[in-house]
Amino acid sequence: MGHSMKSLHAGKELTALFLSLRKRTDAIVCLFLAVSLLRLSTEAWQDSITW
């Protein structure tokens, strides 16, 4: 009985860890996309100026 409770608790901890990791990953991905878009728009802007 105690063993199953332990594994259940571990599963909950793993789920919480996964969710927090996923949130962090989403934030990193959003940041990366924002930086990429900014860089692309800046390059396009510079190209239009030099052209």
Cut 0.85: pTM above it = no
The tens digit of pLDDT for each residue in 2-49 reads 667 788 888 899 999 999 988 999 999 999 999 999 999 998 878 877
What is the DSSP-derived secondary structure letter of residue 51?
A: -
pLDDT of amino acid 6: 84
State the greatest distance between any 2 C-alpha atoms of the chain, in Å, as a whole number: 74
